[in-house]
Structure formats: C-alpha cells, structure tokens
A and B are shown apart, each in its own frame.
Chain A
C-alpha cells in the first residue's frame, strides 16, 4: 500500500527553527509537495521537490532524499503566523497526490 508518515504535532518557540519530517512509500514517485493549512482554511502550496537536495525559499526550505523515501520542511525564524498544519504529499506513478495526515505546528511566544 501507499503510505505517508509525518508527526501528528510539534511545538516550537517563536524565533527558533523547526524541522518537520515526512517519510513515504508510494508506487512510483513524481515529486513531493509541502502545503500549509491554517485552521479552517484551504491548503496553500509551499514547495515542490523532485530531485534530491535542498530547495530554499525565504524562511522555508525543503529537502528530499528519494533513495531514503524521506523529506523534511525546515522553517526558520519562526513567527506566530506559522502556527498551522503542514501537509506532505507525494505524486505517485499515476500522477495522483497521496497525502499525509499533516503535522500541526504550535508556536509558543
């Protein structure tokens, strides 16, 4: 079966750095997406990785290792507005997105 695993909840302090991990087992791989979802709102696109390595975009970076079936999202200089759920999704061989359950990130002052 296809499976995406990520921690259910994480807590971090304002101004700090947090790393949210995602491991996956899917039938085929056509890229990995990270989305942010604030409570009661729609998911919004954050990043996309299809090759191994680190993609940096401002305070957010995403890393991929295809051989390990592993990705992480790194958030730097955390702000209170970063409190949200972070969704990892993998595009499989049929170009369908397989979604993780999401990691709820709580930022404390």
Chain B
C-alpha cells in the first residue's frame, strides 16, 4: 500500500497563475482533507470531503477550490495564485470506521508527503 500520495512535490508559480494539486489514497478512506502548514502556525484546514462527490469549507478556504470525483482522489485548485499562498500543503485521509485490522483507531488522519509551493 502506498498510503497517501501527493503530486507534485515542489512547484513555483508566478502571481496569477493557476495549478492543481493531486492527492490519492489507496486505503479506501471516506474522508479526505487539505491543509496548509506555515512557519509558527498549526496546520490549517482548507477544505475537506466526507465522501465521493461532497466537499466542504474548512478554516481557510478563500482562493482555493476542491473536487472529489473519485473516492480515492482529492484535488486542490488554486485559481489565481498569490504570494500569501506560499506554503506547504498536506493532504490527509481518514475513515469513520476501520477499513482494515491494522488501523489503531478510526478517525486517525494519515498524511501525504506534502507539496512545497512558492508563489512569486
């Protein structure tokens, strides 16, 4: 199992450009999340999804859009990148019920390796 994967790992954008970050999980998890992590701050939730075809706003959704067309994929889009969106972006997934005997408990979030985005 690959767990949670993210592409790309690094990206540099110019102000105003757009891009899509892809997150994929092979653990059959219902829930998926997009966070950003900035120095000196805790992880902040951008958007999340509780199932295929559903999305919801988190704490800092402005400037981002998401889609969950397939259960295993969660896409994060930046429509018009701004320097304030320079950050490390993490995707995570979890399940409200155990999907395998190896999980320690439900609702534990498992993270992808992150995408480092710089907006110039």
**Which residues of A does B touch, CB under 8 Å?**
4, 8, 31, 33, 40-45, 48, 87, 89, 91, 95-102
Number of chain B residues close to chain A: CB under 8 A: 19
From A48, A95, A102, give the contact of B42 (CB < 8 A): A102
Residue of A nearest to B38 (CB): A101
From B45, B111, B114, give the contact of A44 (CB < 8 A): B111
Kindly count the residue-residue contacts between A and B in the assembled complex, taking CB atoms under 8 Å apart.
44
**Which residues of B does A touch, CB under 8 Å?**
4, 40-45, 58, 90, 104-105, 107-114
Residue of A nearest to B105 (CB): A48
Which of B4, B44, B114 lies at the interface centre, i.e. has the most chain A CB atoms within 10 A of its CB? B114
Q: Which residues of B contact A89 (CB under 8 A)?
A: 42-43
* Cα separation A91 to B107 with both chains bound (whole Å): 10
Asked if B108 and A4 make an inter-chain contact with CB atoms under 8 angstroms apart, the answer reads no
Q: Known contacts being A48-B104, A95-B107, A96-B45, is A42 close to B40, with CB within 8 Å? A: no
Q: Which residues of B contact A91 (CB under 8 A)?
A: 107
Q: Known contacts being A91-B107, A95-B107, A97-B109, is A42 close to B114, with CB within 8 Å? A: yes
Q: How far is the CB of A88 from chain B (nearest CB, A)?
A: 9
Q: Which residues of B contact A96 (CB under 8 A)?
A: 45, 58
* Cα separation A41 to B90 with both chains bound (whole Å): 10
Residue of B nearest to A6 (CB): B42
Q: Which residues of A contact B113 (CB under 8 A)?
A: 41-42
Asked if B90 and A43 make an inter-chain contact with CB atoms under 8 angstroms apart, the answer reads yes
